[in-house]
Amino acid sequence: MYYPEEVIEEIRQRNDIVDVISSYISLKRSGSNYVCCCPFHNEKTASFSVSRQKQIFHCFGCHEGGNVISFVMKYENYTFPEAVKALADRVGYALPEIEQSEEDKKKAGRKALLREVNTAAAAYFHFLLTKTERGKPGYRYYKEKRKFTDETIASFGLGYADIYADDLYKYLKKKGFTDDIIRDAGLVDFDERRGPHDKFWNRVMVPILDQNGKCIAFGGRVLGDAKPKYLNTKETEIFEKSRNLFALYKAKRSRRRGMILCEGYMDVITQHQAGIDNAIASLGTAFTAGQALLIKRYTKEVYLAYDSDLAGRKAAKKAIQILRDMDMSQRVIDLSPHKDPDEFLAAEGIEAYEERIRNAIPGRLFEIRELAGNFRMDDPEEKANFLHEAAELIAMIPDPAKRANYCETVAGEFVMDEKLLLQEVTRIGLSGRGQSAGAAPPEPGDDRVTEYQRDGQAAQVQRTVQTAQPQRSAQGPPGTDQTEEYLLTWMVNRPELFGILKDHISEEDFSGVVREVADQLYAQYRETGKVEPAAILSRYEESEDQNTVAGILSREMPFETERDSAEKALTELVKKLKLRSVDQALRSGQGSALALARQKKEIQKIKVTLP
């Protein structure tokens, strides 16, 4: 660490974890905690939990966890001091100037070098394209094929990788970069037979900038018939495809409404040239939740301008679901009869494209229209099946007015009985399926309320059981192998147990990483009469350690809370923990067998009594 522990703790306490994470992700209240879909892995069911009381987060799916500093480190890909500084700046806290450790200086310097070598490569590619005869093939491609102006070429720093396989390597070596940095930036490959050879050659080059405008990678399109047609930089220490977006650096400064999400670089550049400067694209991979959260920092409105072919429509449906899970608005731009924005603008111009943007349809309506393509509307049975499946989609809409409007629109567009469609949507909602997807319950006084409540409660019980299963059944205390974790978790949830159990157990009864955590919790309790789990997490800099500790500290106990049941469960946990300590002493030969046997008898007499 570069800063004193008291400074780090002061910054952590000034940054409420719910407020900070809410600035990145849309959290929803669930009991005493806040939940959402995890930003660190793709999922459909929210398993990411944030506790304001404990000031920690934990994902029960991928097991990422930590405190507010850990979250900023993981989400922003920051080092520990970078995260501390960001949080200090957030609350206006002036950090003391403290010298970095040699190891962290090395890490920061390495990342700076990787950005520097990418910037040098971008400058060289651009120079070849615009200032040399060798770059003429690339220049002609951009000018004649893509119709890019010189201003656009300069604005995006477009370039050209020469036909020689070691051209860039020789240039970067002359600039003083080492083989390790050139290789680790993904610019040059090395092997024994061929030696160093450029990753990109005979390609038009597109620099990829991060959200701060630093060059971190490249995309290249081959000139000719070689494969692959498009090639991106491999993932590096500074470039993660699923957490970056092409042209976001430019689009975030746009005054236009929302952002337009495309599939390719050229579509984005064409739109920016036409004045549509809020266009962005994913980086050679499918759109991800991480990219959605990146967009959400700047806007909650996204327009999809994906290709109009089958593959593009499938990709649009996936993106719609990701955006919906992130509580973001999704609209789809109709590009037909053209394939993509580039082709549309070339054929019909900016005014027609602006009109298509204004008429972009909501994601749910796009899904319903796509669904309709699977049915023959002149066949009565197939049309009835379409009505049922369309009703399933509409029932997921939580707002009653929007559901009614969708019923009206869909019924009119597909020549259906609006009343019948609305009845089917209501039936699905009453069955519990709509409720689990966010549909509103019936109004009080509806004679079907009792049935709706019964089904809804059953669905809620099922969800609760499914959520609790990874944490073991609530029928009794867990097995001995996790006894100490569960007992310590319970004590964190109910700090008064540190005092109640002081005559039965101490930190010395725990072992391994749980012992480390117990030592710190007991010390906190003795000093202040309370525990602060988030302060403990600040002492673990390794992500794996943070995840392990956060898992212990963030778990909600599945036991019943009635006094008698709690006393029995606690008594069993304490006995198992104490008996395990005795068994370990017997196996290691510590103490006499007779004394340990007496100790076992005393342990059996333990009974935890709650006030």
**1's tokens:** 């660490």
Residue 541: predicted pLDDT: 63
Report how far residue 385's alpha carbon sits from residue 395's, in angstroms, rounded to the nearest whole number. 15
Task: Give yes or no for a cis peptide into 400 (omega within 30° of 0).
Answer: no
CA distances from 591 to 506, 515, 582, 599 (A): 19, 22, 10, 11
Higher pLDDT, 600 or 170: 170
Neighbours of 304 (CB within 10 A): 24
Residue 156: predicted pLDDT: 96
Task: Give yes or no for a cis peptide into 337 (omega within 30° of 0).
Answer: yes
Higher pLDDT, 62 or 114: 114
Among 414-423, 436-445, 520-529, top mean pLDDT goes to: 414-423
Ramachandran area for residue 246 (φ above 0: left; ψ -120 to 50: alpha; else beta): beta
Residue 305: predicted pLDDT: 96
Report how far residue 485's alpha carbon sits from residue 501's, in angstroms, rounded to the nearest whole number. 15
Contact status, residue 72 vs residue 22, Cβ threshold 8 Å:
no
Residue 475: predicted pLDDT: 33
Residue 3: predicted pLDDT: 77
What is the residue type of 235?
E
Q: In 3-state terms, what secondary structure has residue 202?
A: coil
Q: What is the pLDDT of residues 559-585, one digit of tens each?
A: 445 677 778 878 888 888 888 777 777
What is the residue type of 556?
E
Q: Who contacts 162 (Cβ-Cβ below 8 Å, separation ≥6)?
A: 128, 134, 135, 168, 201, 202
**72's tokens:** 């900023």
252, 379, 356, 248: which is closest to 308 by C-alpha? 356
Q: What is the pLDDT of residues 337-362, one digit of tens each?
A: 999 999 999 999 999 999 999 999 99
The rounded mean pLDDT for the chain is: 83
**254's tokens:** 């746009």
Report how far residue 375's alpha carbon sits from residue 385's, in angstroms, rounded to the nearest whole number. 8
Q: In 3-state terms, what secondary structure has residue 293?
A: helix
Ramachandran area for residue 607 (φ above 0: left; ψ -120 to 50: alpha; else beta): beta
Q: How far is CA 52 from the centre of its chain?
A: 20
Among 31-45, 225-239, 592-606, top mean pLDDT goes to: 225-239
246, 255, 262: which is closest to 211 by C-alpha? 246
Neighbours of 3 (CB within 10 A): 19
Q: How far is CA 20 from the centre of its chain?
A: 15
Q: pLDDT class for 473, splitting at 50, 70, 90?
A: very low
Q: What is the pLDDT of residues 387-428, one digit of tens each?
A: 999 999 998 888 888 889 999 999 999 998 989 998 888 888
